[in-house]
Structure 1
Amino acid sequence: MMAGDDSAGRPRAARRARWWQLSQRWRMVGVFEIDSKHEFYSLTSMMKEGLQACIQNTEEQDSLTDAHFKTEDVQQCKGFEMHAFAAPVFSALRRSLDISEQEFLDSLCSDANYLQFISNSKSKADFFLTNDKRFFLKTQNEREIRFLLSNLPAYMEHLEKYPHSLMVRFLGVHQIVVPNQLKKYFIVMQSVFYPDERINIRYDIKGCEVGRWTDPEAGGEQIIKVLKDNNFRGQSIALGPEKSWFARQVKADAAFLQELNVLDYSLLLAHQPLHQDELDGKHSFADLILRTTKSLDLEDHPTDPDPSHVPLLHSRSEDVQDGAGCGSEGPEPTQETMCDVELKEFHEHNRRLLPNFKNAIHVIDGADRRYFVGIVDIFTVYSLRKRLENLWKKLRFPGRDFSTVSPVKYSQRFCRWIQQHTQ
């Protein structure tokens, strides 16, 4: 009998082993582990060591001042310096996303190697991922870094006004300096596509047509194919009740970028089907309480909150007994006032009910699909060079939509594409 059990167990163990191997292969599609033989091993090792020193030496601030936006901290490491720009500001931004410093440190500075991200992008920058794929590190040139830092107060003000903005979250700006050898700027960002285990298709949307097609078969299996606008024809982003919120937020974010005189930004988009347990959980009252608490950014995050103390729930819980609703008879005056204030603030800042998810800012659940969305690539300014490029493209592509247009036209066209492709 024991022998029979052993023989029956072996095929199951073999199947589990094969599944694990397949999942690992799928996890590594489009990325390469940066081991000691990799050309970027030295650079990424310096990134890790320097980031650890910077994070551990960043002091938490109760409130930000103008001076915090101008700080440049230097950590002396073995053979190089690590510069951290506006560190208190980015630390505050991480806290607003419920990313603790320890969590950030564990992901960026673990013993596991970084991953090199390989895609069909035309960018000349180098892209790296933490081993858990939660954070992106991207090299930038000095002009782009100066542009980001000079507009950092406006960026933070926009995120304060719209806490659920679709803008990519920058979580650190740094420079590695090796005397007489190397000066390399890089930024740390929250990955839009996290977690990506079930994502098998990605899009980069600009709202135009010229040069916006990618051959899905080109480049080989080891490159992540990021498809473009023309690949998306005949499809839609099915958000249901979230459609109007999505359109409003894209409009607000595009207006902000227009004020910065920026063009050529993209909406990163991916989706995956929701599993049955996710569909069931989405409609449970316990999940609604957690999502509401998360979405209101309350100071207290109880694991089992009393619904009567979560104001937004009052307007969404007609099923709840004992008169928990905001409009129920006989509420105490102070409770009613709190409810009104929270709801007003909720709508004024275009908040939404975030999913109970690690990467909630970039995740929107439709009726049966989970969408990952984020606005990225915000460093292209409408300079004299871009104006001349606009004139040249008008001659070459008369009557057609191309990416290099004025920020006003780019913003309007971008929003129009979103409106036309969302339902």
Structure 2
Amino acid sequence: MPRQAHKKRRKGAPPMADPGPSLRPAARRVAPVAAGADLFLISWGGPHKTKNNPPRICIWESDDEAGDITCDIVDALLLYAPPPPKKPGQTISKGHKNYRLMLNLQLGIRYSVSKLNHSPEIAAKDQLWTRFPPHGSKLTPPHHSAEFKWKDYFPLVFRDLRKLFSVDPADYLLAICGDDALRELSSPGKSGSVFYLTQDDRFMIKTVKKSEVKVLIKMLPSYCRHVDLYRNSLVTRFYGVHCVKSVGGQKVRFIVMENLLCSEHRIHRRFDLKGSSHGRTSDKAGAEIDETTTLKDLDLNYVFLLEKTCLHELIEQIDRDCEFLEAEGVMDYSLLVGVHFRDRELGKNDQKPTKTRLNFELRSRIIASGNNPRMNAIRSPNSPPTCNFRRFGRAVEIRSGVERDVVLYFGIIDVLQGYDLGKKLEHAYKSLQVDPASISAVDPKLYSRRFRRFLGRTFMEDS
């Protein structure tokens, strides 16, 4: 550990000068580091602690045999790592209003995955209701929840999708159905959906409407072809569709999908971008905005610069995905962008790129991480499956022109809304009040064109 100062005095020597009341240290005794030795940690600071004058700790050590007393002064920042960021959401523990729903969900998913191996003739059915009595049955285990019914949609298809997306069945079951409880998130949008996250952040479970399930089932054959052909697709990766119904209760439909912002990097800002402007601001402002706040189009205060090849392939893939969604009659989707500021990673704003980092980024500013379940690089259609986009780039603040090195994560979300009668009525009503081009509810073809045009202004070439 680097030492900023080292002082030694013999036993019986006069005490060192008192630094004054503003800098007088406060000591606490800790366990001896060796027989016959005492160690004291003394905090050293004062009212003038700044970025260039950080708080310090004085480590006093006495050796009774030699009679020496030594003092090492070190920066306190060298001894303490910053606390990990608090995970969003509320852990669903016993007494939570949705605790029983979580238990039913975990029981059902464990049954759905295991029956693929033990009961293939049952799993081959496209849709099947299964009863879960508390005492168990020939097909289901006993459990501590109330009786409920469980429905699987196309279990074999989603098994193949999980395999395509390199999701190990054991990891899948352990994350969702293991000892760790799920975390419940409040919906950042207007849909009223409830989101659940696994403790490792890899998987997200979202409650959906019946109409959304119908859209997914209808598009499932073409969706499978699309994600198989383009392994770098930004469209949300779906791992399962299920329904649970308790006795005397309502049906709760939900989908299991990847968490697009599961990352080894801390996500400092997240943006939900649609390309529309009416009502596209966050309900928080100023100091209320934190790392868990989902910002929208009018909150976006950056332009993101990417290397030429990287930008070209990103825009090309967005075009392919939009053409697919447009052909399926889907609209109202968003590009979710997670931003990690690399200067915060090092704790300073004057980060200078090293030679290694420069060479790394010049190769295309894309890297892959074997430990991260997300897609980290653009690949050819025939390459092995990966999970989502991660890219190095620069974020330029629009007003100030300040540039910051960033790591960006992308994914197209909310892809299950068709242009149905409700959306057509919404378009007609809002068109009487505001500019029709500014609202989200528009024809899928117009939506796709506007979406791509907006992203073309948001992501630009780093010259």
**Which residue of structure 1 aligns with residue 126 of structure 2?**
70
Over 3 Å counting, the alpha-carbon distance change for 1:181 and 1:9 in structure 2 is farther
Report the residue type matching 1:89 in the other structure. Answer: V
Alignment partners' CA distance in 1, 2:253 and 2:115: 20
User: Of 355, 365, 376, which residue of structure 1 is paired with 2:392?
Assistant: 365
Shift, 1:215, TM fit = 4.7
The question of whether the paired residues in 2 share the 8 Å contact of 1:120 and 1:226 is answered with: yes
Report the residue type matching 1:366 in the other structure. Answer: G
Deviations 1:297-356 (A, max 9, x none): 9xxxxxxxxxxxxxxxxxxxxxxxxxxxxxxxxxxxxxxxxxxxxxxxx65x3x7899xx
SS in 1 for 2:311: helix
User: Of 109, 112, 115, which residue of structure 1 is paired with 2:183?
Assistant: 115
Alignment partners' CA distance in 1, 2:60 and 2:383: 48
**Which residue of structure 2 aligns with residue 45 of structure 1?**
103
TM-score w.r.t. length of structure 2: 0.67
Shift, 1:383, TM fit = 1.8
Over 3 Å counting, the alpha-carbon distance change for 1:68 and 1:279 in structure 2 is farther
User: Of 100, 111, 116, which residue of structure 2 is paired with 1:58?
Assistant: 116
Matched, 1:379 2:416: yes
The question of whether the paired residues in 2 share the 8 Å contact of 1:119 and 1:225 is answered with: no
**Which residue of structure 2 aligns with residue 182 of structure 1?**
250
Shift, 1:183, TM fit = 1.9
Deviations 1:223-261 (A, max 9, x none): 931000111144225354310111011111111111111
Alignment partners' CA distance in 2, 1:157 and 1:148: 14
Alignment partners' CA distance in 1, 2:148 and 2:110: 14
What does 1:206-245 align with in structure 2 at a 5 Å threshold? 206-217=274-285, 224-236=292-304, 238-245=306-313
Over 3 Å counting, the alpha-carbon distance change for 1:218 and 1:39 in structure 2 is farther
The question of whether the paired residues in 2 share the 8 Å contact of 1:213 and 1:231 is answered with: yes
Alignment partners' CA distance in 2, 1:281 and 1:53: 49
What does 1:4-403 align with in structure 2 at a 5 Å threshold? 4-5=38-39, 7=41, 8=59, 19=81, 22-23=83-84, 26-28=85-87, 30-59=88-117, 70-72=126-128, 74=130, 76=132, 78=134, 79-118=147-186, 120-195=188-263, 198-217=266-285, 224-236=292-304, 238-274=306-342, 279=357, 282=360, 347=380, 349=381, 360-366=387-393, 368-398=405-435, 400-403=437-440
The question of whether the paired residues in 2 share the 8 Å contact of 1:73 and 1:85 is answered with: no
The question of whether the paired residues in 1 share the 8 Å contact of 2:269 and 2:291 is answered with: no
**Which residue of structure 1 aligns with residue 27 of structure 2?**
none
Alignment partners' CA distance in 2, 1:234 and 1:42: 43
Over 3 Å counting, the alpha-carbon distance change for 1:68 and 1:264 in structure 2 is farther
The question of whether the paired residues in 2 share the 8 Å contact of 1:54 and 1:75 is answered with: no
Alignment partners' CA distance in 2, 1:258 and 1:140: 21
Alignment partners' CA distance in 1, 2:335 and 2:162: 22
Deviations 1:101-147 (A, max 9, x none): 01111111111111011353222111110111111101112221122
Alignment partners' CA distance in 1, 2:81 and 2:201: 20
Shift, 1:388, TM fit = 2.6
Over 3 Å counting, the alpha-carbon distance change for 1:376 and 1:386 in structure 2 is same
Shift, 1:283, TM fit = 6.9
Alignment partners' CA distance in 2, 1:289 and 1:362: 10
Higher helix share: 1
Alignment partners' CA distance in 1, 2:454 and 2:236: 19
Over 3 Å counting, the alpha-carbon distance change for 1:211 and 1:9 in structure 2 is farther
Deviations 1:202-231 (A, max 9, x none): 100001111111254379579931000111
Alignment partners' CA distance in 1, 2:367 and 2:322: 31
Deviations 1:162-218 (A, max 9, x none): 111000001011111223323211110100000265112110000111111125437
Over 3 Å counting, the alpha-carbon distance change for 1:88 and 1:77 in structure 2 is farther
Over 3 Å counting, the alpha-carbon distance change for 1:211 and 1:365 in structure 2 is same
TM-score w.r.t. length of structure 1: 0.73
Q: Could you say which structure has the greater relative contact order, defined with CA pairs below 8 angstroms and 6 or more residues apart?
A: 1
Alignment partners' CA distance in 2, 1:377 and 1:9: 59
The question of whether the paired residues in 2 share the 8 Å contact of 1:120 and 1:224 is answered with: no
SS in 2 for 1:236: strand
**Which residue of structure 2 aligns with residue 418 of structure 1?**
455
Report the residue type matching 2:128 in the other structure. Answer: E
Report the residue type matching 2:232 in the other structure. Answer: H
Alignment partners' CA distance in 2, 1:361 and 1:164: 7
Shift, 1:37, TM fit = 2.2
Report the residue type matching 1:27 in the other structure. Answer: K
In our comparison, the structure showing a higher alpha carbon Rg is 2
Alignment partners' CA distance in 1, 2:221 and 2:125: 7
SS in 2 for 1:396: coil
Alignment partners' CA distance in 1, 2:408 and 2:282: 21
Over 3 Å counting, the alpha-carbon distance change for 1:74 and 1:269 in structure 2 is same
Over 3 Å counting, the alpha-carbon distance change for 1:19 and 1:289 in structure 2 is closer
Over 3 Å counting, the alpha-carbon distance change for 1:16 and 1:105 in structure 2 is farther
The question of whether the paired residues in 2 share the 8 Å contact of 1:68 and 1:89 is answered with: no
Higher strand share: 2
The question of whether the paired residues in 2 share the 8 Å contact of 1:363 and 1:373 is answered with: yes
Over 3 Å counting, the alpha-carbon distance change for 1:153 and 1:245 in structure 2 is same
Report the residue type matching 1:48 in the other structure. Answer: Q
Alignment partners' CA distance in 1, 2:289 and 2:105: 29
Alignment length (residue pairs): 356
Alignment partners' CA distance in 1, 2:166 and 2:328: 28
SS in 2 for 1:224: coil
